[in-house]
Amino acid sequence: MNIFTKSKIKKYLDSKVETKEIRSYLLTETRLHIQKSKRCKHTIDITVMPDHILVRLLQKRIPDPGIQNTGDFFREEIRDLKIKDFEN
């Protein structure tokens, strides 16, 4: 991951924290850990997906845990984005 992509990801995550869409995040070289609420956490392995898919994933609104499980949301969206990327 280059520095420009990392700064774009950090910008999206900071805006999600400011709007209280997520509570906190931890971005490392290999993983992205997102905490939506006290009990709802999800870790994404960012080494297995292209950078542009991760950016497009973070542009989407993360639903409340009462509406849809956060883990299911990320699995479905990553799958859909990879399929769309493969078709193009």
Residue 38, domain extent: 3-87
Q: Could you read off the pLDDT of 4-19 as tens digits, one per residue?
A: 999 999 999 999 999 9
pTM here is: 0.84
**With contact defined as beta carbons under 8 Å apart, do 83 and 38 qualify?**
no
For residues 27 and 46, what is the distance between their CA atoms, to the nearest angstrom? Answer: 9
**Helix (DSSP H) and strand (DSSP E) numbers for the chain:** 3, 3
Percent of the chain having pLDDT more than 70?
100
Counted domains in the chain? 1
Joined tokens for residue 59 = 């542009």
